[in-house]
Structure 1
Amino acid sequence: MKASYLIIVLVLACLIGSAQAEISPNVEQAATKVERVYPNPLSDYLFVEIKCVDYAQATIVLLDILGNPVQQWENVEVVPGTQKVRLDLKLLHSGIYLLKVTIGDQKFVNRLRKV
């Protein structure tokens, strides 16, 4: 019985707020990163701020909480410096989602809530 309460508490703790995880095998490319994802919770639009030191192609995938792709933006051009990418999510249903941004061999994951 205590184990089930612990699991519920851990799941709720993971769902509250936003979190970003960086999955990167190469430490040298640390200058390329997703700086901010806002607003969270979101209603119609989501802004992703990406900082990059070189020209690159990014892939942005929105996943539902089970990991199924909901929407995808491929070949997003990233230029040196910081840039803001605006994603239109008006037609998205309310719920918890994961936003995965892939730039080269780096992956960044953010938890989002749509209201």
Structure 2
Amino acid sequence: MDRLNERYPQVSLSAEQVSRPAADALVEAGDEAELLVLGSRAFSGFGDFMAGSVALVTVARVARPVVLVRADQPVDDEHGPDARGRPSAHTPYRDIVVGVDPTHPCQELLAFAF
């Protein structure tokens, strides 16, 4: 937490150790938050993004928006490649995909995504 506080002094951080299953604690915390952000890693042997069991259970149960962040990717990877082919904070953001069901209202989902 000390390193995070040093790197992001403008963000209020707190920590809590819980004795119940992680997904239960995250669902409870997510119900009190505007947004729940969970880390995820690529598993050895797989190059694609995969969510772990805690993330899958949490996403299925929480009522708030959830963002899965790939833990091993630097922040610059959210941007498109520059002239050298590398992600750069000076290039536009990468494309995003938003899945919607046109038979249900989706304005809030689209507003969140963009």
- TM bucket (normalised to shorter chain) is under 0.3
Instruction: Select the structure that is richer in helix.
Output: 2
Instruction: Select the structure that is richer in strand.
Output: 1
TM-score scaled by length of structure 2: 0.22
TM-score scaled by length of structure 1: 0.21
**Relative contact order, CA 8 A, sep 6+: which one is greater?**
1
